[in-house]
Amino acid sequence: MRTETPIIAARLNGRFSLHMQADGSVAAVSADLSVGLGQFSAAATARAAHLAIGLPLAALAGKSALAKQLHALVRRLAQHGLLDYHLGPPGGAQDLVVIEPQVADYWPQAAKLSSSDTIVLSRFAYLHRRGNEMVLQSPRAGALFRICDPAIAAALALLSRPHSIGKLRKQVGSLNFDLLGLLLDSAMLLKLGAKDGDGLRASEGDPNLVLWDFHDLLFHTRSTEGRHTDPVGGTYAYAGVMPPLPAVRPPWPGKTIALGKLAAPEPASPFARLLRERHSTREFDDRNPVTLAELAQFLGTTARVLSEWKGGRDVDGVPEVTYSSRPYPAAGSAYELELYLAVSNCEGLARGLYHYDAGGHALTAIDVPPQQLHAMFTSAAYAMGASGPPQVLITIAARFGRISWKYASIAYSLILKDAGVLLQTFYLAATDMGLGGCAIGTGNIERFAKMTGLDFHVEGPVGQFALGRGRKDA
Ligand SMILES: Cc1cc2nc3c(=O)[nH]c(=O)nc-3n(C[C@H](O)[C@H](O)[C@H](O)COP(=O)(O)O)c2cc1C
């Protein structure tokens, strides 16, 4: 039996269909959304109708006017996250692999490979069950791969050891160069050079990855926004499955010691009063914005470096390490957290993004596109259910390597604990200064990476805090 060579085809998300108007305007329409895509020729719109079952990407290549129009239309759909990419025989009857983009700008590109190349699976790639499907994912990858052919899953298992492509393809006929090239482009696979040995704990082409454990990088990308497409936030995912747990844990049975009589219920000190006064403020008085002097005081009180010191030599094989002391506690005194201030309305400070240099107690302006700053404020307002942006949005970013160098497998959990400590420090300082603030549980790590040019696994958001002068009537 002759097997047809698999091709890559783009397919429109099943919830959407394309609506074409007589004037050539095209929109992707679902039950509750319509996304305008622009105007196209009759030939392009007729061909685009194939997106419902699969439009071969080869149809977008070439210099003809039709190919260029189709390319523009398909790229627009891709930017809106409305496409999957299918690898299988022409006609779309039987998929071998379906690629689901996970980042906004994913575009399938097969890296060039030859039979003599040696490849191995990335240590960040994992195969797991999702419903009735088997999916290959990696926190590094811009897309996930739904594996529809068990022979391909078996070949991936073989790739726990390096294999030359020629030998591998003799063992698994359905593995073609396109699929291997796509997996390589997504960093699911690595190409090993002569000096790379067995590919174990390799830098994977980026020395900053050496310090990441698999579970920590996965946790980071799946508990933030930007590098996956699942809903994030208060989604009440289990509301239909089981009732909520009680707000307060029912007491244990047994003898109790009542504490109420032992201490007065009223706050006994200014600090106890501060704790009671602390609350979240989500609406801000934009006619009375926070001032630069207040911001300086807030940052100096909460986050400034107080001293630097050296240590570490006492442990065998450990070099001398420089540490710092700051107003809040931090695991191992690593102080891996950095503050980035998105300023919307602050008297004496222009709108923009700034890095707080905790050592020099200074702000450094970072040039960022205004629309990305706007998107950041919009997301923060949405997360708080607020009517407008916070006056200052503080992103707490971690320099991951600073803490994983010492703590490895528990590094990410320590980072989140450190972020919690800093958030409460912010709350208390804001309350003490008569300002208002609110922690924000979500943050987009891809947007931050784009704004700063820092790779998501080098330095990135692990928390946010909205700050400003609270509105008295809110
Ligand atoms: C880690 C953390 C994440 C939070 N995320 C959000 C958020 O995304 N949006 C929001 O409106 N409030 C957020 N909050 C604020 C809580 O909703 C608030 O602390 C809680 O309702 C108790 O109210 P209070 O702070 O006024 O005492 C967060 C608080 C914490 C500590």
pLDDT at site 389: 98
pLDDT at site 201: 63
Which residue puts its alpha carbon closest to atom 27 of ligand 1?
A: 279
pLDDT at site 2: 47
Residue with the two structure tokens 């305007």: 25
DSSP letters along 146-165, please? EE--HHHHHHHHHTTS-EEH
Cβ proximity of 60 and 74 under 8 Å: yes
The identity of residue 296, as a single letter, is: A
- Per-residue pLDDT tens over the stretch 46-103: 999 999 999 999 999 989 999 999 999 999 999 999 999 999 988 767 899 999 999 9
Separation CA 297–CA 121 (nearest Å)? 50
Domain for residue 104, yes or no?
A: yes
Which residue puts its alpha carbon closest to atom 17 of ligand 1?
A: 280
Domain for residue 380, yes or no?
A: yes
Domain for residue 245, yes or no?
A: no
pLDDT at site 120: 93
Domain for residue 258, yes or no?
A: no
As beta bridge partners, residue 353 has: 342, 366
Q: Are strands 392-399 and 352-357 parallel, antiparallel or unpaired?
A: unpaired
Separation CA 202–CA 210 (nearest Å)? 7
Q: Are strands 97-101 and 83-88 parallel, antiparallel or unpaired?
A: antiparallel
Separation CA 226–CA 26 (nearest Å)? 27
| Residue 279 CA, ligand 1 centroid: distance in Å | 9
Looking at the fold, whether 269 and 201 belong to one and the same domain comes out as no
Identify the segments of the chain with pLDDT beneath 50.
1-2
Looking at the fold, whether 358 and 447 belong to one and the same domain comes out as yes
Residue in 407, 392, 388, 409 with CA at minimum distance from that of residue 474 = 388
Phi, psi of 440 (to 5 degrees): -125, 125
| Closest ligand 1 atom, residue 427 Cα | 25
User: Which residues lie below 8 Å from residue 214, measured CB to CB, with a gap of 6+?
Assistant: 123, 124, 126
- Per-residue pLDDT tens over the stretch 353-402: 999 999 999 999 999 999 999 999 999 999 999 999 999 999 999 999 99
Ligand 1 binding pocket includes 424 (Cβ within 6 Å): no
pLDDT at site 1: 43
Which residue puts its alpha carbon closest to atom 9 of ligand 1?
A: 384
Domain count, the chain: 2
Ligand 1 binding pocket includes 119 (Cβ within 6 Å): no
The identity of residue 356, as a single letter, is: Y
Structure tokens at 101: 């983009």
Which residue puts its alpha carbon closest to atom 14 of ligand 1?
A: 439
pLDDT at site 199: 62
Separation CA 233–CA 442 (nearest Å)? 7
Chain Cα centroid distance, residue 177: 30
As beta bridge partners, residue 337 has: 398
Looking at the fold, whether 187 and 277 belong to one and the same domain comes out as no
pLDDT at site 3: 60
Which residue puts its alpha carbon closest to atom 18 of ligand 1?
A: 280
Among 274, 278, 279, 280, the mutation site with the greatest number of ligand 1 atoms within 8 A of its Cβ is 280
Looking at the fold, whether 193 and 85 belong to one and the same domain comes out as yes
3-state secondary structure of 86: strand
Looking at the fold, whether 280 and 351 belong to one and the same domain comes out as yes
Boundaries of domain holding 301: 264-468
Write down which residue in 206, 235, 254 finishes a domain. 206
Confidence (pTM):
0.94
Query: What is the CATH classification number for the domain harbouring 412?
Result: 3.40.109.10
Q: What angle do CA 243, 246, 248 make, to 5 degrees?
A: 170
Separation CA 422–CA 398 (nearest Å)? 12
Looking at the fold, whether 297 and 152 belong to one and the same domain comes out as no
Burial class (CB in 10 A: 0-12, 13-18, 19+), 319: exposed
Domain for residue 332, yes or no?
A: yes
Looking at the fold, whether 22 and 126 belong to one and the same domain comes out as yes
Which helix (H) or strand (E) element contains residue 321? strand 321-325
Looking at the fold, whether 190 and 52 belong to one and the same domain comes out as yes
Helix and strand element counts for the chain (H, E): 12, 23
pLDDT at site 450: 97
DSSP letters along 231-256, please? --SS--TTTTTSPPPPSSPPPPSS--
Separation CA 172–CA 472 (nearest Å)? 69
Separation CA 254–CA 252 (nearest Å)? 6
As beta bridge partners, residue 163 has: 119
Write down which residue in 206, 235, 253 finishes a domain. 206
- Per-residue pLDDT tens over the stretch 209-233: 999 999 999 999 999 999 999 999 9
Looking at the fold, whether 195 and 325 belong to one and the same domain comes out as no
Looking at the fold, whether 160 and 283 belong to one and the same domain comes out as no
Looking at the fold, whether 167 and 297 belong to one and the same domain comes out as no
Which residue puts its alpha carbon closest to atom 7 of ligand 1?
A: 440
| Closest ligand 1 atom, residue 419 Cα | 1
Domain for residue 452, yes or no?
A: yes
pLDDT at site 91: 75
Separation CA 53–CA 213 (nearest Å)? 40
| Closest ligand 1 atom, residue 442 Cα | 8
Domain for residue 255, yes or no?
A: no
Write down which residue in 206, 231, 252 finishes a domain. 206
Ligand 1 binding pocket includes 384 (Cβ within 6 Å): yes
Domain for residue 257, yes or no?
A: no
Ligand 1 binding pocket includes 441 (Cβ within 6 Å): yes
Alpha-carbon torsion 363, 368, 374, 375, what sign? negative
Looking at the fold, whether 56 and 193 belong to one and the same domain comes out as yes
